[in-house]
Chains A and B, each alone.
Chain A
Amino acid sequence: MTYRVLIVDDSKLARMAVAKVLNGLQPDWVRLEATNADEALEIAKAGGVNVALLDFNMPGRDGLVLAAELKALNPDMPLAVVSANHQVEVVARAEAVGAVFLPKPVTETSLRDFVTAVAASLAAAG
Chain B
Amino acid sequence: MTAAKPQVLDELELDALTELVNLGVSRAAGSLREMVGEEVHLSVPAVRLVTRGEAIAILGEREQTKLVAVHQVFEGDITGRALLIFPEAKSLELVRAVTGGDLPLEDIIELEQEALAETGNVILNGCLATMANMLQRSLKMSLPEILRGEGETFFSLAPPPEAGDVVLFLYINFAVRQRDIEGYIAMLMDMPSLAALRVLLQEFIARATGAEA
- Asked if A pairs with B, the answer is yes
By a beta-carbon cutoff of 8 Å, the part of chain A in contact with chain B is 11-14, 16-17, 19-20, 23, 56-57, 59, 83-90, 104-105
How far is B26's CA from A14's CA once the two chains are assembled, in angstroms? 15
B12 touches A13 (CB 8 A): yes
User: Which of B19, B33, B209 gathers the greatest number of chain A CB atoms within 10 Å?
Assistant: B19
A13 touches B205 (CB 8 A): yes
A85 touches B45 (CB 8 A): no
Which residue of chain A lies nearest to B205 when distances are taken between CB atoms in the complex?
A13
A17 touches B29 (CB 8 A): no
B33 touches A84 (CB 8 A): no
Q: Within 8 Å of chain A (Cβ to Cβ): is B43?
A: yes
Total interface residues in chain B, CB < 8 Å = 27
How far is B205's CA from A12's CA once the two chains are assembled, in angstroms? 11
23 A-B residue pairs with CB within 8 Å: A11-B18, A11-B19, A12-B12, A12-B15, A13-B12, A13-B15, A13-B205, A13-B209, A16-B208, A16-B209, A19-B209, A20-B208, A23-B210, A59-B46, A85-B26, A85-B27, A85-B29, A87-B39, A88-B33, A89-B33, A105-B23, A105-B134, A105-B208
Q: Within 8 Å of chain A (Cβ to Cβ): is B53?
A: no
Q: Within 8 Å of chain A (Cβ to Cβ): is B16?
A: yes
Contact residues of B between 24 and 70, Cβ < 8 Å to A: 24, 26-27, 29-30, 33, 39-40, 42-46
How far is B118's CA from A98's CA once the two chains are assembled, in angstroms? 36
Q: Within 8 Å of chain A (Cβ to Cβ): is B79?
A: no
Residue in B11, B30, B46 whose beta carbon sits within 8 Å of that of A85 in the complex: B30
